[in-house]
Amino acid sequence: MARHPLRDTIAIVGVGSTPYGRDLQRSHLSLGLEAAVSAIRDAGIDKQEVDGICGSGMTPLAQGGAGFLSLQGSLGIERCTWGVNSWLGSAFVHAGAAVAAGLCDTALVVQTYMREPNMSRSASADPFRRVLEQFSDVGSDMGGGDFAKRWVHSGEPYAAWMKRYMHDYGVGKDAFAYMAVNNRSHGSRNPAAVMQQPITLEDYHASRMIWEPMQIYDMDVPVDCAEAHVITTAERARDLPNKPVYIHAMSLGGTRVGEFYENSLGWTENAHWVAAKGLWDRSELRLDDVDLFYPYDGYTIDAIGCVEAVGWCKPGEAGEFLKSNWDPADNILRLNGRTQVSTHGGGLALGRAGGANFYSEAVRQLRGTEGARQVPDAKNALINIGSFFHDPSAVMLRAD
Amino acid sequence: MRNYGPIDDVTVFELYPGIQLTRDNIEHYRALAEQKLVINRCGDCGYWIYPHRPMCPECWSLKVKPEEISGFGTVFMFTLLYQLRDPKSHIMEPVPVAAVELAEQKGLRYLSRIVNCAPEDIAHDMPVRLTWIEIGNMEWPAFEPVPGGLG
């Protein structure tokens, strides 16, 4: 086991989500503020109790967006002793780490997402979305006409890895199909989901080809939305109105190959495997204890990577594993006969939030407040958010 | 072959206005303008360093020098684009994008176009070699199947 002083010492006490929509005609900051206010109210704390903020985006200032400085000013929070912007799996982990380390006592995480102009024709015709692209910044060169840098921060290498995975293991697309159908089935039961219609395995295989072998149903749905979380100490959490959801263990993951995706290491050496090992080196809860599993589904190949990285099955065997853990009555996965997967519909059905909505759903399920969608007796949730290449998280949440 | 004459730093910046040129990658682009594909290499242990960085990750040597590659490799992974990010673009046949594993070193991959090959004939581990194609009045690297390599 690794050194692990944070075990169960911090908790999620507030969750806030905006509506999800294709075109909400709002700014990143407006969405982020709605989620933030909702999460702080849900936590039952005064806003001045927030003394740390993780905002959205990849650069420190992120002006015009929902960066931590803009959020602090807009929310009227007087003093923060900690602040950063982040995304994907990292944002939540950074905030939890800051509380655990004592850099702040109550951290607010805000993650905003918008449908970008390169994601659809109508989005590209919207001047508000085009100007976002003009001022977007991932901190570096995105290629600038050099084809060799095309895969810096690109989705295409996920398609290439999907093809290489199928080639190396001699498998078809079953694993991806089951994951897509599972998420759409759950989405059809979630009134917040942008995609309300369930799909069949046949629908999946017949869907439009985008980047061979990746099809449209392998890709999350671009939407406008925001999610926010309030994280504080376990001690403080016990005085607050909601049932505390504790962070039992968590890990990020990085490999020596990061920013040039084509140079990534092998399938079982990518960042998800590093994060998963980091978690298992710290968690006292094991896979058999997991009641709910939340693998990030920016692309289905990402979710399949998470399934294999955390050890539900051996590398290359996800197709067989998911097939044999399929519940045909509900058209959903029940891993080892019971563990439900992405109960909110994930990015494939609820909508694209960079994985932030997986944390929100896990917390609400562990609180036991999901009503008709509540999974009975859910105590432990495993969440894996992020990319093969960067910012992957592995997080074990638990409730009493 | 195009001749730009002596290619000084200012000219490299003029030729590649969209590239974030640094002191670690400028020799790569200077060579591209001369239709040479060069990759940084450790002058002490011989390790090839890509993306272009100023120190060898194997031995921490700072004696990093760009060196021309043989141009031979294999297709490690690829995808065929049926839809481009620019919604105004229409493509008649799928566009291949391939990570070519260069013969010089395991795991050393260069992202490139595959030309002189039907998209449906591209295969994992297929031997390819460097060629050059003109795009936007500039010569850019591409890879094509090695004749007889498929047999």
* Model pLDDT for residues A310-356, shown as the tens digit of each residue: 999 999 999 999 999 999 999 999 999 999 999 999 999 999 999 99
Q: Which of B19, B98, B111 sits opposite A144 (nearest CB)?
A: B19
Same domain, A168 and A301: yes
Residues of B in contact with A124 (CB under 8 A): 86-88
Q: How many residues does chain A have?
A: 400
Report chain B residues touching chain A, CB-CB < 8 A. Answer: 16-20, 50-51, 57, 76-83, 85-88, 94, 97-99, 107-113, 124, 136, 140-141
Classify residue A4: in a domain, yes or no: no
- The band of B149, judged by pLDDT with boundaries at 50, 70 and 90, is low
Sign of CA dihedral A71, A77, A83, A86: negative
Instruction: Out of A175, A199, A234, pick the residue that ends a domain.
Output: A234
pLDDT exceeds 50 at position A301: yes
- The band of A305, judged by pLDDT with boundaries at 50, 70 and 90, is very high
- The band of B147, judged by pLDDT with boundaries at 50, 70 and 90, is confident
User: Using the beta-carbon criterion (under 8 Å), do B76 and A148 form an inter-chain contact?
Assistant: no
Classify residue B62: in a domain, yes or no: yes
Q: Name which of B28, B47, B97 to mutate to probe chain A: the one with the most chain A Cβ atoms within 10 A of its Cβ.
A: B97
Classify residue A41: in a domain, yes or no: yes
Residues of B in contact with A137 (CB under 8 A): none
Q: Name which of B14, B75, B80, B108 to mutate to probe chain A: the one with the most chain A Cβ atoms within 10 A of its Cβ.
A: B80
Same domain, B86 and B109: yes
pLDDT exceeds 70 at position B8: yes
Same domain, A107 and A58: yes
pLDDT exceeds 70 at position A60: no
Strands (E), chain B: 38-42, 48-49, 64-68, 72-81, 95-102, 109-114, 127-135, 138-145
Strand partners, A211: A214, B81
Same domain, A305 and A375: yes
Same domain, A171 and A277: yes
User: Using the beta-carbon criterion (under 8 Å), do A120 and B82 form an inter-chain contact?
Assistant: no
Classify residue B139: in a domain, yes or no: yes
Q: What is the pLDDT of residue B1?
A: 43
Are A223 and A377 in contact by the 8 Å Cβ rule? The answer is: no
In 3D space, the residue among A69, A63, A150, A52 whose CA is nearest the CA of residue A109 turns out to be A52
Classify residue B63: in a domain, yes or no: yes
Same domain, A197 and A263: yes
pLDDT exceeds 60 at position A361: yes
Classify residue A1: in a domain, yes or no: no
Q: How far apart are CA B63 and CA B52, in angstroms?
A: 13
Total CB pairs under 8 A between chain A and B: 98
Instruction: Out of B52, B68, B84, pick the residue that ends a domain.
Output: B68
Q: What is the pLDDT of residue A261?
A: 83
Looking from the CA of A217 toward its CB, the CA atoms found within 13 Å total 26
- Contact partners, residue A177, CB within 8 Å, separation at least 6: A201, A204, A205
Instruction: Out of B41, B68, B95, pick the residue that ends a domain.
Output: B68
Same domain, B34 and B63: yes
Same domain, B95 and B133: yes
C-alpha distances out from residue A237 to A11, A16, A198, A223, A240, Å? 6, 17, 38, 32, 5
pLDDT exceeds 70 at position A138: no
Residue B104: how many CB atoms within 10 A of its CB?
18
Q: What is the pLDDT of residue A12?
A: 98
Q: How far apart are CA A13 and CA A350, in angstroms?
A: 23
Average pLDDT, whole number, for chain A?
94
**CATH number of the structural domain spanning residue A43:** 3.40.47.10
Same domain, A193 and A298: yes
Q: What is the pLDDT of residue A121?
A: 77
Same domain, A111 and A160: no
Amino acid at A383: I
Report the residue of chain B nearest A118, measured CA to CA: B85
Classify residue A93: in a domain, yes or no: yes
- The band of A260, judged by pLDDT with boundaries at 50, 70 and 90, is confident
Q: How far apart are CA A250 and CA A361, in angstroms?
A: 17
Looking at the structure of chain B, the number of domains it has is 2
Return the higher-pLDDT residue of A154 and A32. A32
- The band of B151, judged by pLDDT with boundaries at 50, 70 and 90, is very low
Give the gap in angstroms from C-alpha B148 to the nearest C-alpha of chain A. 22
Residues of A in contact with B33 (CB under 8 A): none
Classify residue A143: in a domain, yes or no: no
Q: What is the pLDDT of residue B87?
A: 66
Q: What is the pLDDT of residue A264?
A: 84
| Domain boundaries, position A204 | 152-221+249-398
Looking at the structure of chain A, the number of domains it has is 2
User: What tokens does A239 get?
Assistant: 């005085």
Same domain, A196 and A90: no
Classify residue B2: in a domain, yes or no: no
Same domain, B92 and B128: yes
Number of H helices, E strands in chain A: 14, 14
Residues of A in contact with B108 (CB under 8 A): 263
Same domain, B79 and B139: yes
Same domain, B89 and B53: no
In 3D space, the residue among A346, A218, A245, A366 whose CA is nearest the CA of residue A294 turns out to be A346
Q: Is A352 exposed, middle or buried (0-12, 13-18, 19+ CB in 10 A)?
A: buried
Residues of B in contact with A254 (CB under 8 A): none
User: Using the beta-carbon criterion (under 8 Å), do A151 and B111 form an inter-chain contact?
Assistant: yes
| Domain boundaries, position B60 | 9-68
Classify residue A239: in a domain, yes or no: no
Same domain, B46 and B83: no
Model confidence pLDDT, tens digit, residues A376-400: 999 999 999 999 888 999 999 999 9
Same domain, B121 and B80: yes
Model confidence pLDDT, tens digit, residues A156-189: 999 999 999 999 999 999 999 999 999 999 999 9
User: What tokens does A265 get?
Assistant: 């290491």
For β-strands B109-114 and B138-145, DSSP reports them as parallel
- How far is the first Cα of chain A from the last one, in angstroms, to the nearest whole number? 23
Model confidence pLDDT, tens digit, residues B54-97: 999 999 999 999 999 999 999 999 999 998 777 677 788 899 99
Q: What is the pLDDT of residue B45?
A: 98
Classify residue B40: in a domain, yes or no: yes
The SS3 of residue A17 is strand
Sign of CA dihedral B12, B18, B24, B30: negative
Same domain, A105 and A159: no
Q: How many residues does chain B have?
A: 151
Return the higher-pLDDT residue of A58 and A19. A19
Classify residue A139: in a domain, yes or no: no
- The band of A42, judged by pLDDT with boundaries at 50, 70 and 90, is very high
Same domain, A88 and A164: no
Q: How far apart are CA B28 and CA B49, in angstroms?
A: 12
Q: What is the DSSP letter of B116?
A: S
Residues of B in contact with A159 (CB under 8 A): 79
Are A148 and B111 in contact by the 8 Å Cβ rule? The answer is: yes
User: Using the beta-carbon criterion (under 8 Å), do B77 and A161 form an inter-chain contact?
Assistant: yes
Strand partners, A109: A54, A229
pLDDT (average), residues A17-22:
97
Lowest mean pLDDT among A137-146, A335-344, A357-366, B49-58: A137-146
Classify residue A133: in a domain, yes or no: no
Lowest mean pLDDT among A15-24, A64-73, A128-137, A194-203: A128-137
Same domain, A327 and A178: yes
- Listing DSSP states for A307-353 in one string gives HHHTTSS-TT-HHHHHHHTEETTTTEEEETTTEEE-TT-HHHHT--S
User: Using the beta-carbon criterion (under 8 Å), do B85 and A118 form an inter-chain contact?
Assistant: yes
Same domain, A212 and A317: yes
User: Using the beta-carbon criterion (under 8 Å), do B16 and A151 form an inter-chain contact?
Assistant: no
Residues of B in contact with A167 (CB under 8 A): 124
Same domain, B33 and B97: no
pLDDT exceeds 70 at position B2: no
Q: What is the pLDDT of residue A125?
A: 84
